[in-house]
Amino acid sequence: MMKKWGIFRAPIGLTRWMRRDAAAAWLFLAPSAAGFATFYLIPYVMGLMYSFMSSTTGGRFAGLANYRELLASSSFRKAAYNTFYFSAVSVPLMLALSLGLALLLNRPIYLRKWLRTSYVLPLVVPVASVIIIWQMMFDWNGALNYVLSWSGIKRVDWMKTDAARNVILAVYLWKNVGYNVILFLAGLQQIPKDYYETAQIEGAGRFRQFFGITLVYLTTTTFFVVIMSIINSFKVFRETYLMAGDYPHASIYMLQHYMNNMFVSLDIQKLTAAAALMVCGIMIIVLGLFRLEYRYRQFME
């Protein structure tokens, strides 16, 4: 990087200024870095350390014992599976849905601005405010079962069967679709219009235009959307927690529930081990995605 700057042959004054850059940078960074270290970095390192200890206070190095114990726990395996499963189902669905809506919204239709507003609005509505609505919808006597009864479908106890997954999925989509739609809209608006015109002249069909131009140019956005969707799929814990409490139905028992409950029952070893595993998992996925995007972009160029 510094070499790149050297090429510019900056004036003498500027170089000197640049030399002071690092010092200034650390001054600017100091408040953030200090707080960040205190409340994030050190806790991560501590957490990782604890996961190898037999106890948080005065414990001995226990190697992988905590991890072995953790992996033996069926509730952890269940929670990890649920979390992974939920992300694996919800993220592609979210991608398809938000991309579709963004494409439609990118058309010259009426009320575009209002529609965009209404799609984003769920994002700013506090989770706690609409919990009562979800309960009204998905209760045994709720509105959804009522609608189903019109077509003679038997009632489903949405929150207490495997159907709870679908409920959480619906809530997740409801809340986050607007966010991804505007991300995609931004991506779509960056695609130069004349690309499509050229393609049309060359006789490319709609299909080819979509795959050849739209998707290619949306790659960066898509990666970002995927990452954000994964993160947001973890955040759906809030809704789950507020709707179903500490111990929801087994099908929506997430890693966050597991960790929360381990915290409450003071099983710190399992908790830190689970946290470390989760951090590793997320890091692998995210870094993998970055890598993939990097490769993809190189490949495209």
Partner 1 sequence: MRVMTTIQKGLLTAFMVMIGLVLLFPIMITFTNSLMAGQELRINYGVIGKLTDVTSTGAETFINLKWLPDKVTLEQYGELLVHSPYYLLLFWNSVGLVVPIIIGQTVVAALAAYAFAKLKFRGRDSLFLVYLLTMLMPFQVTLVPNYIMADKLGLLHTSGAVILPGVFAAFGVFMLRQFMLHIPYAYIEAAKIDGAGHLRTFLTVILPMVKPGLAALVILLFVDNWNMVEQPLIFIDNPMKQPLSVFLSRLSGEWDTVFAASMLYMSPMVLLFLYAETYFIEGVQLSGIKG
Residues 130 to 149 in contact with partner 1, rule: CB under 8 A: 130-136, 139-143, 145-146, 149
List of long-range contacts for 57-65, beta carbons under 8 Å, 24+ apart: 62/269
Q: Which of 65, 95, 182, 204 binds partner 1 (CB under 8 A)?
A: 182
Size of site (CB under 8 A) for partner 1: 119
Choose the binding region for partner 1 from 61-69, 70-78, 88-96, 286-294 (rule: CB under 8 A). Answer: 286-294
Interface with partner 1, residue 55, by CB under 8 A: no
Q: Which of 71, 75, 84, 116 binds partner 1 (CB under 8 A)?
A: 116
Q: Tell me which residues in 200-259 interact with partner 1 (CB under 8 A).
A: 206, 220-221, 223-225, 227-228, 230-231, 234-235, 237-238, 241-243, 255-256, 259
- Dist. CA 278–CA 205, nearest whole Å: 44
- Dist. CA 92–CA 106, nearest whole Å: 21
Count of Cβ atoms closer than 10 Å to residue 156 Cβ: 19
Interface with partner 1, residue 50, by CB under 8 A: yes
Interface with partner 1, residue 66, by CB under 8 A: no
Q: Please, which residue, 250 or 282, has the CB nearer to partner 1? A: 282
The torsion angles phi and psi of 61, rounded to 5 degrees, stand at -70, 125
**Each residue of 10-42: b (16+ CB within 10 Å) or e?**
eeeeeeeeeeeeeeeeeeeeeeeeeeeeeeeee
Interface with partner 1, residue 33, by CB under 8 A: yes
Interface with partner 1, residue 128, by CB under 8 A: yes
Q: Please, which residue, 7 or 109, has the CB nearer to partner 1? A: 109
Q: Which of 25, 88, 153, 216 binds partner 1 (CB under 8 A)?
A: 25
User: How do the residues of the chain divide into helix, strand and coil, expressed in percent and rounded to 5?
Assistant: 80, 0, 20
Whose CA is closest to 267, among 89, 275, 252? Answer: 275
Interface with partner 1, residue 275, by CB under 8 A: yes
Whose CA is closest to 169, among 247, 94, 80, 225? Answer: 94
Q: How far is CA 17 from CA 2, 6, 9, 24, 284, in A?
A: 14, 14, 13, 10, 39
Interface with partner 1, residue 127, by CB under 8 A: yes
Q: Please, which residue, 91 or 101, has the CB nearer to partner 1? A: 101
Q: Which of 99, 101, 102, 167 binds partner 1 (CB under 8 A)?
A: 101
Interface with partner 1, residue 88, by CB under 8 A: no
- Dist. CA 169–CA 176, nearest whole Å: 11
- Dist. CA 182–CA 235, nearest whole Å: 19
Q: Which of 164, 177, 248, 251 binds partner 1 (CB under 8 A)?
A: 177
